Amino acid sequence: MAEIYINLGQEINDYDINALRSRLKSIKPGEEVVIRMEATDAHQADRIVDELRNHGFDYQPHGGHTDEYFLIARKKG
């Protein structure tokens, strides 16, 4: 089972969403993706969560140290 890591910056923009969308399409059922965001505002994650839901992922948010925020997601199936 693969585990894929994606790092995003302080502000989530359209480029980030398109890159994430492309990566999510290649993930097989049962595989995990760990998304690390430097955003201090958890609301930055809303667009990421929408993409995860649209591509059939269950996810769990995790706060990190300092200004990090993580989403750990597994593709359903």
pLDDT mean for each 10 residues of the chain (77 residues): 81 91 94 86 83 97 80 95
Per-domain residue ranges for the chain? 3-75
CA atoms of 71 and 46, how far apart (whole Å): 11
Where b means 16+ CB within 10 Å and e means fewer, 14-29 reads eebeeebeeebeebee
Which CATH fold topology does 3-75 show? Translation Initiation Factor IF3 (3.30.110)
Tokens standing for residue 16: 């980030």
> What predicted TM-score, i.e. pTM, was given to this entire model?
0.85
pLDDT at 39: 64
